[in-house]
């Protein structure tokens, strides 16, 4: 942990600027929609600018927590208001502040009804998301984790589509279900640490210091897994996602895909790996299988969809399967790829939802069959869409390529067969995306309504601009981004290797070796006790 060199509670600022904005909006007249929109946009832009300060002051040479802040909150149970960030959280925080700006821009005309509440919820959501990525106290983490649910619940529940109520309760209960088990897991760690050391604390860094008994790890891993895997969502916990995406308004989908899903993968990286390394090692093969199944299954389902938004939603299942596969390959390339792909998916899928939202605003339909020949009337739109599609597919030159390549390399190192299947999934991804592009953008204009469509306006261009820039930038200079996460991921990999040099070899393929590894863990557990 490194002292806050900035001498400014910058992480708190990032959380409280949007909250303050939300409070200010409370006092606005609900009728003056434009001033509400402008204020909200201003707040998110300020927040984004403040978050850029992080880049300037971030020390890339260390994996330790930076910009830490600590205030006593509930000292009697050992919980503090404790914030800090490393490279992984840095990229996610930046993504969050950026996507929030985008989300406000894309709701400019899409949301006409009850703009005030809408903007308030968006801002609270931003605060919650930033909070999740920067909290280093388990209780504070849980607090932000749950707070994020509420505005999302409303974004879907009030401004959503036809089946919003169903989608809503499904979304909420699914995620809540996972998170209460996560809470139980947190408590288990808290007590294990407290009993062993006499220090009862929710301080993540203190909890890192201890080696937990294998048995306990196993159960806690399972509890955390439920919480995070539902959020990711990992196959077979993904069923809430398509419903939520389809019913959510565009900004909701963008945030959902761009950031909220990353909270799950972030959780795995931040908690499961460093805290529960032994259990992670034994769960990794199982998780890898689930991830790869997710990749292929998501791709196949996406192919069968008639609704563009549903297609993208299922493609998210596939892409996040890839992220998970990268992380649980448990080697440098895999984890680097996973981390990068988290950002990529945020950018590209966020972008996809944006372009869907734009066309939906014009046509009020999302069925693929209703379109065709859009390129003729909306050339700019078609071009930008193509870039985003390429990114999503992972074409060289776009960000997706770098991420997927790293993941596949990592996966290959870990398990050849799975990497082959995953690669098939990537190809399938290209298939459904391009097929959709062909049906929607190319060909003859079959519907009269499509003839009069207007191309993108300035605001919409502005909305898409950061997405396009990021796609190309990461695609061409991935090192700029990996530089920030490098120290953290390297540290993770070091931990993995240091603790289990034999297991890394063992997990290559054979089941026998796996059993051997399990025995080794069991022995270790005994020794701890």
Partner 1 sequence: MTDIIAGFPVLSIIIFLPALGALFIIFSRRESVEFIKWTALGATVLTFIVSLYLPLTFDAANPSFQWVEKTVWIERFGMSYFLGVDGISLFLVLLTTLISIICVFASWTDIKTKMKGYMALLLLTETCSLGVFMSMDLFLFYIFWEAVLIPMVFIIGIWGGGRRLYAAIKFFIFTFTGSLFMLLGVLALYYYHGKLTGVYTFDATVMWLSPVAPYIQWWIFIAMFLGFAVKVPLFPLHTWLPDAHTEAPTAGSIVLAAVLLKLGTYGFARFSLPLLPNASMEFAPMLMVVSLIAVIYGALVTIAQRDMKKVVAYSSVSHMGFVMLGIFALNADGLKGSLLQMINHGISTGALFLFVGMIYERTHDRQIGSYGGLMKAVPVYAVFFLITVLSSMGLPATNGFIGELMVLIGAFKAHWIYAVIAVVGVLLGAVYLLWLFQRVFLGELVYPGKGEIKDLNLRELCASVPLIILIFWIGLYPRPFISGMEASIDILVKRFEINSKKSMLDTNRVAAAPDHSQGGASK
Q: Smallest gap, in angstroms, from Cβ of residue 127 to partner 1?
A: 11
Tell me how far, at minimum, the Cβ of 134 lies from partner 1, in Å.
15
Q: What is the DSSP string of 209-273?
A: TSPPPHHHHHHHHHHHHHHHHHHTTPTTSTTHHHHHHHHS-HHHHHHIIIIIHHHHHHHIIIIIH
Nearest distance, CB of residue 165 and partner 1, angstroms: 6
Cβ closer to partner 1: 159 or 381? 159
Give 142 or 481: the residue with its C-beta nearer to partner 1. 142
Residue 58: how many other CB atoms lie within 10 Å: 19
In whole angstroms, give the CA distance from residue 191 to residue 194: 5
C-beta of 84: minimal distance to partner 1 in Å? Answer: 19
Quick one: 172 or 328, whose CB is closer to partner 1? 172
Decide: 10 and 54 in contact? Cβ < 8 Å: yes
Nearer to partner 1, 158 or 430 (CB): 158
CB nearer to partner 1: pick between 128 and 425 = 128
Give least dist CB 18 to partner 1, A.
14
**First-to-last CA distance in the chain?**
29
Give the span between the Cα atoms of 217 and 209, in whole angstroms: 14
Residue 1 or 150 with smaller CB distance to partner 1: 150
Residues of this chain that interact with partner 1 (CB under 8 A) are 72-77, 117, 139, 142-147, 149-150, 153, 157-158, 164-165, 168-169, 172-173, 176-177, 180-181, 183-184, 187-188, 190-191
CA distances from 147 to 123, 127, 250, 452 (A): 12, 9, 21, 43
Neighbouring residues of 335: CB distance < 8 A, sequence distance ≥ 6: 269, 326, 327, 329, 410, 489, 492, 493
Residue 66 and residue 86 in contact, taking contact as beta carbons nearer than 8 Å: yes
CB of 232 to partner 1, least distance (A): 19
Is the CB of 137 or the CB of 460 nearer to partner 1?
137
Burial per residue of 404-420, b for 16 or more beta-carbon CB atoms within 10 angstroms, e otherwise: bbbbbbbbbbbbeebbe
Identify which of residues 148 and 264 has a Cβ nearer to partner 1 in the complex.
148
Q: How far is the CB of 183 from partner 1 (least distance, A)?
A: 6
Angle among Cα 369, 310, 322 to the nearest 5 degrees reads: 130
Give the shortest CB-279-to-partner 1 separation in angstroms: 17
């Amino acid at each position: 942990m490194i002292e806050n060199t900035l001498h400014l509670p910058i992480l708190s600022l990032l959380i409280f600027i949007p909250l303050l904005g939300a409070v200010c909006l409370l006092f606005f007249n609900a009728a003056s929609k434009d001033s509400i929109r402008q204020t909200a946009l201003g707040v998110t832009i300020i927040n984004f600018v403040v978050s850029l300060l992080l880049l300037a002051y971030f020390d890339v040479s260390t994996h330790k927590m930076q910009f830490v802040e600590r205030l006593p909150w509930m000292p009697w149970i050992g919980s503090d208001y404790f914030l800090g960030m490393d490279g992984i959280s840095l990229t996610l925080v930046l993504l969050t502040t950026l996507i929030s700006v985008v989300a406000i821009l894309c709701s400019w005309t899409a949301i006409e009804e009850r703009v005030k509440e809408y903007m308030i919820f968006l801002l609270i959501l931003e605060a919650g998301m930033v909070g999740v990525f920067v909290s280093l106290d388990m209780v504070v983490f849980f607090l932000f984790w749950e707070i994020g649910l509420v505005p999302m619940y409303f974004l879907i529940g009030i401004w959503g589509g036809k089946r919003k109520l169903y989608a809503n309760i499904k979304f909420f209960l699914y995620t809540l279900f996972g998170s209460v088990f996560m809470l139980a897991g947190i408590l288990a760690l808290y007590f294990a640490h407290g009993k062993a050391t006499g220090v009862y604390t929710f301080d993540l860094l203190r909890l890192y210091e201890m080696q937990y008994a294998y048995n306990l790890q196993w159960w806690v891993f399972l509890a955390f897994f439920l919480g995070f895997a539902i959020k990711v969502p990992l196959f077979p916990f993904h069923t809430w996602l398509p419903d939520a995406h389809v019913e959510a308004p565009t900004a909701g989908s963008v945030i959902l895909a761009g950031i909220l899903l990353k909270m799950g993968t972030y959780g795995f990286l931040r908690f499961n790996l460093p805290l529960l390394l032994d259990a992670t090692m034994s769960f990794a093969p199982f998780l890898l299988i689930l991830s790869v199944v997710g990749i292929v299954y998501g791709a196949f389902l996406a192919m069968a969809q008639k609704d563009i938004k549903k297609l993208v939603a299922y493609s998210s299942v596939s892409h996040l399967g890839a992220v998970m596969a990268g992380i649980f390959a448990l080697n440098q390339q895999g984890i680097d790829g996973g981390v990068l792909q988290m950002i990529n998916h945020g950018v590209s899928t966020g972008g996809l939802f944006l372009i869907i939202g734009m066309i939906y605003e014009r046509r009020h339909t999302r069925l693929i069959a209703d379109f065709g020949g859009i390129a003729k009337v909306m050339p700019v739109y078609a071009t930008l869409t193509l870039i985003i599609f390429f990114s999503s597919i992972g074409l060289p030159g776009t960000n997706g390529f770098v991420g997927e390549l790293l993941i596949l390399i990592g996966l290959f190192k870990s398990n050849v067969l799975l990497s082959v299947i995953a690669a098939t999934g990537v190809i399938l991804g290209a298939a459904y995306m391009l097929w959709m592009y062909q049906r929607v953008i190319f060909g003859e204009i079959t519907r009269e309504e499509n003839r009069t469509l207007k191309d993108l306006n300035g605001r919409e261009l502005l909305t898409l601009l950061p997405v396009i820039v990021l796609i190309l930038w990461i695609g061409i200079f991935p090192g700029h981004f990996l530089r920030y996460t490098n120290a953290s991921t390297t540290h993770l990999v070091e931990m993995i290797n240091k603790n289990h040099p034999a297991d890394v070899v063992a997990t290559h393929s054979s089941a026998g070796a796996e059993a051997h590894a399990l025995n080794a863990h069991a022995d270790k557990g005994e020794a701890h006790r």
